[in-house]
Amino acid sequence: MTDLTTSELIIDIPDRPSGQPLNLSVEPGQVWGVLGPNGVGKTTLLHTLAGLRQPRDGQVLLDEQPVTRMKRKQLARHLGLVFQDRQDGFPATVLETALIGRHPWMMPWQMETQADVDLAEQALEALDVIHLRDRLVHTLSGGERQRVAIATLMTQAPGLWLLDEPTNHLDLHHQVATMGLLTGQAAAGHTIFMCLHDLNLAARWCDHLLLLYPGGEACWGPSQSMLVPAALEQLYGQKLVTVEADGAPVFVPAR
Amino acid sequence: MPLSSTLRPLIVLALISVVAMVISVSIGSSAMELGQTLAVLTGGGTELQQTLILDLRLPRTLSAFATGGLLAVAGALMQVLLRNPLADPYVLGLSGGAAVGALLAMLAGVAGIVVSGSAFAGAMLATLLVFGLAHGTGSWTPSRLLLTGVVVASGWGALITLILAMTPASRLPGMLYWLMGDLSHAGTPAPALIILVLVCLLVFPLGRSLNVLARGPMQAAALGVSVRPLEWLIYLLASILTATAVTMAGSVGFVGLVVPHMLRLVLGNDQRLILPACALAGGGLLVLADALARVVIAPEQLPVGVITALVGVPTFLYLLYRSR
């Protein structure tokens, strides 16, 4: 169980005024979506939450400990991050890539056990890439690699999942399957916190939203109260048409 | 990966290395039957044979093994550190610094241990210079480190040419042999072998962290690796390994670049397997190359670097052509 809170957090984006400090409280079982236009700092926020970047001001607390003071290995047992882009370095198979997720749980001299392999295979199964098990990652399509990256996070099995555009490159079916998997993980007691570009995926699957505006303002809260067409139009600088479909609001950009 | 599948290739490589060493001590200006060689190695044989093998050929063979192992491990480490498949132990200008040190000592007319010491000092100076400059005022990235190294290396190259131009013709052959890698002045192999074994024992527990680091520093940090200390450690280790090898045998090319790649093509990319495999395969390869260098134009000897390049280049190109 991992509680994530930020106190007076201001992320550090060079040459930009500080804007409004964030005081988030993210609890297990919640699915958070971060929305905002390009360059607003969604990725920087995720990296700051993961302790990979120093904030300009304020703190990120994981179970009341500042993340910047925690040991990286300890931190990696509590939170994991799916990056927007990946380096492949040297060729590796899909299974080897997923197994990397066990790293924070193993002592330096330990080799992966059958239990670790089983965990990795379950994750590959859940992301529908088990049939690619022995393929080299760099030979896969963008969407397949994205699913392998999420499977690696699932193998890491942290309490808090940070994901930078997890539905990037995914086809429609796998977008829905992935969002279903993530909300399922939240229901099982994990915390999901992700940046999204697709307003409608956020509206449909996230129970909390954080809107980051270009000027540095921000607002956050339960999805119902955040999905106000006027606020979203201001967020993207884009007129929207709202329709009701499948029991949820759907936002379509107006011409 | 279970331990047994890690051990099997290592055992095979170790056997190959032992065979290479037995071959290496058997051949030379007075060749010996395999049975005689084994007899000497187990304590028998005539006094002449004992001197020939135990005092002359065995130290040189062990030096070749240590040099090859050191260079191959250093190459594998540099490739992970710089996340660049073209990286080799010399890419950051280490051999240039060592060469300038060694050639200056030779130009001054000294020999033996002073040349070695001077080469080691040059290599470590080159390491510190590149690292300090690449660090600069900002952060160091692999591409910045690589560029700094390449530029500093060309600076060393110019100095080497300058020294060669100023050297009287009678001293030139010794210098050229040193520059191409030559084991005939290697000295006692014990320190290098000890360093090789120690580093292999040290990097084995680091292997998985290196696997993670190969996927980029951000991903590694997110998976619990303390990236900066690990990078410093690899850089320092690779530098010490290279400096030790260069000090013993001059700049032997291609082992550090080719051996890790050959092994990766066959064994995959798990550094826990690749690093010890590099030590064995690099060592075995250089032992065979040195044996060839001694017999090809006997009684004259070729610089071993010529052999490693002539054998290494086509083998590597073939493996690359065949690879997935």
Residues A57-82: pLDDT tens digits? Answer: 999 999 889 998 899 999 999 999 99
Contact A214, A235 (CB under 8 A): no
List of residues 6+ apart from B234 with CB closer than 8 A: B77, B80, B81, B206, B210
Structure tokens at B286: 């250089």
Which residue, among B208, B227, B265, would best test binding to A if mutated, counting the most A CBs under 10 Å from its CB? Answer: B208
Q: Kindly state the average pLDDT of the residues A230-247.
A: 90
- Partner residue facing A109 (CB), from B205, B211, B225: B205
Q: Kindly state the average pLDDT of the residues A176-201.
A: 95
- Partner residue facing B208 (CB), from A50, A93, A103: A103
Contact A111 B205 (CB under 8 A): no
The helix (H) or strand (E) run that includes residue A1 is none
Contact B269, B76 (CB under 8 A): no
- Residue A157: what pLDDT? 94
- Residue B54: what pLDDT? 77
- Partner residue facing A76 (CB), from B3, B223, B269: B223
Q: Quote the CA–CA distance of B293 and B313 in Å, as a whole number.
A: 16
Contact A83 B215 (CB under 8 A): no
Chain B, nearest residue to A53 by Cα? B218
Interface A-B: count of C-beta contacts within 8 A: 81
Contact A135, A94 (CB under 8 A): yes
- Residue B137: what pLDDT? 63
Cis peptide before B299 (omega within 30 of 0): yes
Chain A, nearest residue to B204 by Cα? A109
Contact A100 B223 (CB under 8 A): yes
Q: What is the mean pLDDT of chain A?
A: 92
- Partner residue facing A80 (CB), from B222, B226, B264: B222
- Residue A187: what pLDDT? 95
Chain A residues contacting B via beta carbons under 8 Å: 47, 50, 52, 71-77, 80-81, 83, 86-93, 96, 100-101, 103-104, 106, 108-109, 111-112, 136, 156
- Residue B321: what pLDDT? 81
Query: Which residue spans within A48-198 are E strands per DSSP?
Result: 57-62, 65-66, 79-82, 160-164, 191-195
Chain B residues contacting A via beta carbons under 8 Å: 1-3, 6, 79-80, 83, 85, 204-206, 208-209, 211-212, 214-216, 218-219, 221-226, 264, 268-270, 272, 324
Contact B116, B191 (CB under 8 A): no
The helix (H) or strand (E) run that includes residue A104 is none
Q: Kindly state the average pLDDT of the residues A91-110.
A: 91
Contact A216, A20 (CB under 8 A): yes
Contact B231, B214 (CB under 8 A): no
Contact B2 A111 (CB under 8 A): yes
Q: Quote the CA–CA distance of B232 and B224 in Å, as a whole number.
A: 17
Report which DSSP code applies to A84: S
- Residue A19: what pLDDT? 84
- Partner residue facing A72 (CB), from B6, B205, B225: B225
Q: Kindly state the average pLDDT of the residues A94-105.
A: 94
- At residue A193, does pLDDT exceed 90? yes
Domains of chain B: 3-322 (1.10.3470.10)
- Residue B181: what pLDDT? 80
Contact A89 B83 (CB under 8 A): yes
Set of chain B residues whose Cβ sits within 8 Å of the Cβ of A47: 218
Low-confidence residues of chain B, pLDDT below 50? none
Which residue, among B8, B206, B215, would best test binding to A if mutated, counting the most A CBs under 10 Å from its CB? Answer: B215
Contact B209 A136 (CB under 8 A): no
Q: Quote the CA–CA distance of B121 and B267 in Å, as a whole number.
A: 36
Residue pLDDT, tens place only, A104-123: 999 888 888 999 999 999 99
- Partner residue facing B224 (CB), from A47, A104, A109: A104
The helix (H) or strand (E) run that includes residue A250 is strand A248-253
- Residue B251: what pLDDT? 81
Residue pLDDT, tens place only, A211-235: 999 888 999 999 999 999 999 999 9
- Residue A81: what pLDDT? 95
User: Domain segments of chain A: what residues?
Assistant: 4-226
- Residue B246: what pLDDT? 85
Share of chain A above pLDDT 70, in %: 99
Superfamily of structural domain A4-226: P-loop containing nucleotide triphosphate hydrolases (3.40.50.300)
